[in-house]
């Protein structure tokens, strides 16, 4: 059986051979192909290779969505589940409707038969009405149970959908949210007229690091840096992986001075991270980041805020990197 290391080497060779950039989705698909446990995916890829079709990011992403995406498979299951619940409620409601109609018809015809001069007959009719009332009560109880079940199913579906939404908006490599999620959150903060601060964090000389130690180790470093970034934000704002080796944090309702303090803590925390190669046991060089901070009053635009924080980060790069800079108006 191929060791994990063998597999990763073959994954890298596969990506190189097909000139695919080492982004997480490409890794994921290549890894599944090399691992040989997705026959349909293997067949699709082999078909393209034998037809000499160029493998590009779009094609790989379509395979990911079709064969591997947990999200699309789960969405199908959820939709089926919701369908079943809706069908069940719809049947129970029409049964109950039918029972009420029958009861009313029974009541109508019974009332005609009630007669003071024929007490035994009247008693018989009333007793049959009591039976019908109990039967209707049973029907209503059944409907109530179905509705309670539906409520429980809906709650389960809501939780599952929340999880799917999280997966959809999460960057697979770092576990941080993606920019699209931030966009939604900022819209909400703007509605609440909150002022916003943005911090952009960009790894220094990461290209050299990748070239020297390889993209795989680069990925591990990137995900550790992401966790460090997240640890300084907690509930106070939202950190996202903006693009490649750049992170962005947006914090509502804080002053620029506080944002600067957080930025400095992040810079310092990342500089102190230690990376050890699991293969050689040797220490890898430290990673530093250049950090930019920008502040905008309430109702400002996320694009502008991001742009300003990036400009500030560029100032930090120009100042020699491994430092925090502010956006200058
Ligand atoms: N391992 C890995 N590398 C990535 C990822 N995304 C982007 N990168 C790399 O990040 C590097 C960015 O390089 P540059 O834009 O030249 O920046 P830099 O070398 O960090 O230099 P400065 O930003 O000027 O300090 C490139 O080598 C990208 O391949 C990723 O997901 N994983």
Kindly report each contact of residues 166-170 with a partner whose C-beta sits within 8 Å and lies 24 or more positions away, as own/partner.
167/70, 167/71, 168/71
85 lines ligand 1 (CB under 6 A): no
Q: For the chain, where are the alpha helices, taking DSSP H only?
A: 4-17, 24-35, 39-50, 57-63, 70-113, 119-169, 179-191, 206-213, 215-231, 256-271, 302-318
Give the alpha-carbon dihedral of 139, 141, 142, 143, to 10 degrees.
90
Q: Give the position of tokens 């009630």.
A: 114
Looking at residue 1, its pLDDT comes to 44
The residue whose CB lies within 8 Å of the most ligand 1 atoms, and thus the one to mutate among 24, 245, 318, is 245
- Ligand 1 atom with the shortest distance to the CA of 290: 25
95 lines ligand 1 (CB under 6 A): no
- Which pTM value belongs to this model? 0.63
Q: Give the position of tokens 């502010």.
A: 326
147 lines ligand 1 (CB under 6 A): no
313 lines ligand 1 (CB under 6 A): no
C-alpha 143/C-alpha 93 separation (Å) is: 7
CB-based contacts of 8, cutoff 8 Å, min separation 6: 31, 216
In tens digits, the chain (329 residues) has pLDDT values of 446 667 777 888 898 899 887 777 788 888 889 888 788 889 999 999 998 888 887 788 888 877 887 656 666 676 677 777 777 887 888 888 888 898 898 888 888 888 778 888 888 888 998 998 999 899 889 888 888 888 888 788 778 777 777 777 888 889 899 888 888 888 888 888 888 999 999 999 999 999 999 888 999 999 999 999 999 998 789 999 988 899 999 999 999 999 999 999 999 999 999 999 887 888 999 999 999 999 987 767 889 999 999 999 999 999 999 999 999 87
323 lines ligand 1 (CB under 6 A): no
| 210, 218 Cβ separation under 8 angstroms | yes
Ligand 1 centroid from CA 243, angstroms: 10
Q: Which residues pair with 198 in a beta bridge?
A: 250, 294
- Ligand 1 atom with the shortest distance to the CA of 244: 6
Ligand 1 centroid from CA 208, angstroms: 8
207 lines ligand 1 (CB under 6 A): yes
Which of helix, strand or coil describes residue 186? helix
- Ligand 1 atom with the shortest distance to the CA of 218: 1
Encoding tokens for residue 183?
Answer: 């966009």
171 lines ligand 1 (CB under 6 A): no
C-alpha 107/C-alpha 110 separation (Å) is: 5
The residue whose CB lies within 8 Å of the most ligand 1 atoms, and thus the one to mutate among 16, 21, 244, is 244
Encoding tokens for residue 327?
Answer: 């956006």
Inter-axis angle of helices 24-35 and 39-50, nearest 10: 100
144 lines ligand 1 (CB under 6 A): no
202 lines ligand 1 (CB under 6 A): yes
Looking at residue 326, its pLDDT comes to 97
173 lines ligand 1 (CB under 6 A): yes
Say what the ipTM of the complex is: 0.98
Encoding tokens for residue 73?
Answer: 């498979």
| 184, 87 Cβ separation under 8 angstroms | no
The residue whose CB lies within 8 Å of the most ligand 1 atoms, and thus the one to mutate among 8, 24, 206, 318, is 206
Looking at residue 75, its pLDDT comes to 65
Which residue's CA is the closest to the ligand 1 atom numbered 21? 205
> How many C-beta atoms lie closer than 10 Å to residue 242's C-beta?
22
């Amino acid at each position: 059986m191929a060791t994990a290391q063998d597999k990763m080497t073959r994954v890298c060779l596969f990506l190189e051979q097909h000139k695919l950039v080492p982004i997480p989705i490409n890794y994921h698909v290549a890894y599944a192909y090399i691992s040989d446990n997705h026959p349909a995916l293997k067949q699709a890829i082999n078909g393209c290779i034998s037809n000499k079709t160029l493998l590009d990011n779009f094609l790989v992403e379509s395979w990911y969505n079709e064969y591997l995406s947990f999200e699309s498979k789960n969405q199908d299951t959820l939709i089926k589940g919701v369908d079943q619940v809706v069908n069940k409620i719809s049947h129970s409601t029409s049964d109950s409707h039918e029972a009420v109609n029958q009861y009313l018809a029974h009541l109508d015809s019974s009332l005609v038969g009630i007669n003071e001069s024929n007490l035994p007959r009247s008693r018989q009719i009333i007793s049959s009405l009591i039976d019908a009332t109990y039967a209707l009560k049973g029907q209503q109880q059944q409907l109530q149970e179905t509705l309670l079940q539906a409520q429980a199913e809906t709650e389960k579906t809501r939780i599952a959908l929340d999880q799917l939404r999280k997966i959809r908006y999460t960057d697979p490599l770092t576990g941080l949210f993606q920019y699209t999620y931030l966009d939604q959150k900022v819209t909400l903060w703007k509605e609440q007229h909150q002022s916003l601060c943005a911090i952009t964090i960009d790894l220094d000389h990461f290209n050299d690091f990748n070239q020297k130690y390889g993209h795989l180790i680069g990925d591990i470093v990137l995900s550790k840096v992401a966790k460090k970034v997240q640890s300084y934000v907690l509930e106070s704002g939202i950190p996202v992986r903006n693009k490649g080796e750049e992170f962005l944090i947006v914090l509502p309702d804080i002053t620029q001075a506080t944002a600067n303090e957080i930025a400095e803590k992040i810079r310092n925390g990342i500089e102190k991270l230690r990376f050890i190669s699991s293969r050689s046991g040797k220490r890898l060089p430290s990673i530093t980041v250049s950090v930019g901070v920008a502040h905008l009053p309430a109702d400002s635009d996320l694009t502008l805020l991001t742009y300003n924080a990036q400009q500030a980060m560029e100032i930090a790069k120009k100042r020699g990197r491994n430092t925090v800079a502010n956006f200058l108006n």
